[in-house]
A and B are shown apart, each in its own frame.
Chain A
């Protein structure tokens, strides 16, 4: 599982989204999900953003930002790669091309066979 904390006002978050979608597509059929957790923005704004950007993975609303605080997501985007046992294997504060081969290989290596 990849948990990505983001906001529409965060430019690096916006730039990163297409690479998350490409990663999802490249691992389609594998036991892998992406959860995009939005920090405290109104649903109307998120819906407007989703009309412009393709994101075929769930968007969760962290309305009071309690989840972001609990995960210590102070810098956006903040991403956490969680393995099948629920352990955080990797975390990163900042933008990344998730569809690049090193990241894809790393995540694929964590997936149960």
Chain B
């Protein structure tokens, strides 16, 4: 897609804002290209500095292809690491003591195309996961236990559901109906779902709500995973809340979820975005039976608009080469940095800054 066409589709999205999930034929099956640049500056370096930047998912998916990454800046050492358990691609940059203004700009190119699942047409060739994969994608993470209150809640939700699809749908509807988007949540939320269930405070953002989905699905025996990424373009389906309005996307991080079912493979879902539509879609604070919410709720069980870049599916991430004693990251979706023996605040950076820009590209 060239820049001109990209701008045209932006206008089309604005014009269609009044319609629920505007059908756009061009989005089905068509690849769109994006260039995403992340510029990181350590503002007050003390005794050397490090930064870690998430890169697009390395494995080619039917819905995302990584075309390449490049970097510029004054880092003395740059390496790409793969998180050992999940394979998340992490670019790690280092600056020596004495570098007054550590800076790096990483540019990534990707192609994406929309996902949609036709639940009336299972593909017999798509088998169940292997036993090892099934065990991996139904296991607990540090913040997403699959026993105790999580398991009890999941069992209650899927009671009577027989297939994995039925269970996955029941959990989806439960998350949509019982959680809410809390705009005061820092970042995307860290997904401490046990605390959410124990306190019955179901407010949060995608990192909480979709983690709730994944935890409940796993606890119900349905393989599921979070997918962490960033929105890179407006929604061409007419949803202002489900896209970005300009090229600077520094705060547009967004995570989604998938579950696996025989006959369908990995199925995309995004209950958190249904709640985002309810809260933010003009005129805002929509009711759950509003036509826009109903349309989004239907589409987001089995479909993703790919105006979004997927970074990785990793939990409990240890930053490679870190010299700071710090807990594992619940996920790796934000730029991280450290200097002077301290980890920098990835959500509200005061001693470092980063800006992420995304544009449509020609490739």
Contact = CB atoms under 8 A, between A and B. Distances in A.
B170 interface: no
B311 to A, nearest CB: 13
A91 B15 CA distance: 50
A10 B107 contact: yes
Interface centre among A10, A39, A65, A68 (most CB of B within 10 A): A10
B120 interface: no
Interface centre among A7, A12, A68, A74 (most CB of B within 10 A): A74
A2 interface: no
A100 interface: no
Interface in B25-78: 35, 55, 58, 67-72, 78
Contact of B71 (A39, A65, A73, A75): A75
A13 B67 contact: no
Contacts of A60: none
Given A9-B35, A9-B109, A11-B107, A76 B55 contact: no
A12 B35 contact: no
Interface residues of A, number: 20
Interface string A60-91: 00000100100001111100000000000000
Interface string A86-105: 00000001110000000000
B80 A74 contact: yes
B89 to A, nearest CB: 7
Contacts of B35: 9
Contacts of A93: 71, 78-80
Contacts of A40: 67-68, 363
Nearest to B72: A12
Interface in A39-69: 39-41, 45, 65, 68
Contacts of A95: 72
Given A74-B55, A93-B80, A12 B67 contact: no
B69 A75 contact: yes
Nearest to A73: B68
Contact of B78 (A68, A73, A75, A77): A75
Contacts of A11: 70, 72, 107
Interface of B: 35, 55, 58, 67-72, 78-80, 89, 91, 107, 109, 361-363
18 contacts: A7-B70, A9-B361, A11-B107, A13-B70, A39-B67, A40-B67, A40-B363, A45-B362, A74-B55, A74-B68, A74-B80, A75-B69, A75-B71, A75-B80, A76-B68, A76-B69, A76-B70, A93-B80
Given A11-B70, A73-B68, 14 more contacts: A9-B35, A9-B361, A10-B68, A10-B70, A11-B72, A13-B70, A40-B363, A41-B363, A65-B68, A74-B55, A74-B69, A75-B91, A76-B69, A94-B70
